[in-house]
């Protein structure tokens, strides 16, 4: 199946260190995620990768037994897939 590259922000309850570890383990087990960021203070989890957003939210819900709310979903350029630098050879412009 062909997935798009997304950046998704979720709201989750991260009450204690055990909750944090449970969420972290669940994210590390998911092969479709490129990277993740867990913000304990605000109870937010950001994930990046080529995936189906609903499938990832459901998997996290099942593996952590925590309520998951999708706050933000953005389509992002894939790793190395964006042509932001054009055909100029990838050199940085002088400051």
- pLDDT given for residue 89 in this prediction: 44
Give the pLDDT confidence score for residue 21 in this predicted structure: 95
Position 81 scores a pLDDT of 55
Give the per-residue pLDDT at 79. 64
CA distances from 5 to 11, 74, 87 (A): 20, 9, 23
Residue with tokens 């309850």: 13
Q: Which residues of the chain have pLDDT under 50?
A: 83-93
- Sheet of strand 69-75: strand arrangement: 33-39, 44-50, 5-11, 69-75
The per-residue pLDDT for 77 is: 74
Cα–Cα distance measured from residue 64 to residue 68, given in angstroms and rounded to the nearest whole number: 10
Residue-level pLDDT at 28:
95
Instruction: Give this prediction's pTM.
Output: 0.74
């Amino acid at each position: 199946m062909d997935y798009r590259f997304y950046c998704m922000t979720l709201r989750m309850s991260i009450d204690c260190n055990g909750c944090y570890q449970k969420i972290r383990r669940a994210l590390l087990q998911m092969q479709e995620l490129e990277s993740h960021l867990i913000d304990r203070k605000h109870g937010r989890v950001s994930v990046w990768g080529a995936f189906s957003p609903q499938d990832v939210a459901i998997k996290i819900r099942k593996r952590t037994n925590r309520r998951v709310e999708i706050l933000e979903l953005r389509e992002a350029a894939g790793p190395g897939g964006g042509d932001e630098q054009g055909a100029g050879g990838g050199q940085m412009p002088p400051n």
